[in-house]
Structures are given as structure tokens and as C-alpha cells.
């Protein structure tokens, strides 16, 4: 999944749960400005930020490293 898809999935989950950006920022410890920039596509989040958001939203992130094709 590409970053844009991941961010859109997190945003949709937030909306389905009826959680505002302000409340998600508070619950996750992620700054509101950071969350707004992320959802608008104006920033590249750290894995830690994505993990915090996903955890609050009841989601799980998995990092997969694939072997290069030779």
C-alpha cells in the first residue's frame, strides 16, 4: 500500500468512527497541525506517527520488507 492509500484509509476509519481530527490528535498524542497536514497530503509522517494514529483507530500497521528481485 502506498502512503497516500494508507493515509486515506486512516482518514476514512477516523470518519467512520465519528472521531474529529482534534479528538484523534488528543488521543494519539499527535499534534493537530501534524494530523491536518498528513490528511491533506502536505506532510510525510514518521512510522511512529502512523503507528500512534492506527492504534487509536483500532488498526494495526505492519512493515514488510521485500527481498530485491535480481
List pLDDT tens digits, range 23-49. 999 999 999 999 999 999 999 999 999
Question: How far are the Cα atoms of 13, 21, 31, 67 from residue 57, in angstroms, in the given order?
Answer: 7, 12, 16, 30
In a domain, 67, yes or no: no
Q: Give the count of domains, the chain.
A: 1
The reply to whether 64 falls in a domain is: no
Rounded to two decimals, what is the model's pTM? 0.85
C-alpha cell at position 37: 497536514
What is the domain range of residue 37?
A: 3-54
Each residue's pLDDT tens digit, 1-10: 788 999 999 9
Q: Which residues contact 22 (CB under 8 A, 6 or more apart)?
A: 32
The pLDDT-based confidence of 11 (bands split at 50, 70, 90) is: very high
Residue 12 located in a structural domain: yes
Q: 49: domain CATH number?
A: 1.10.260.40
Q: What CA dihedral angle connects 28, 33, 38 and 41, to 10 degrees?
A: 170
> Residue written as cell 528481485?
69
In a domain, 19, yes or no: yes
Amino acid at each position: 500500500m502506498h502512503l497516500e492509500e494508507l493515509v486515506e484509509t486512516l482518514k476514512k476509519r477516523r470518519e467512520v468512527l465519528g472521531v474529529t481530527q482534534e479528538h484523534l490528535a488528543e488521543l494519539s498524542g499527535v499534534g493537530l497541525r501534524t494530523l491536518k497536514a498528513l490528511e491533506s497530503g502536505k506532510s510525510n509522517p514518521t512510522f511512529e506517527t502512523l503507528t500512534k494514529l492506527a492504534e487509536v483507530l483500532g488498526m494495526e500497521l505492519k512493515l514488510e520488507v521485500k527481498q530485491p528481485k535480481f
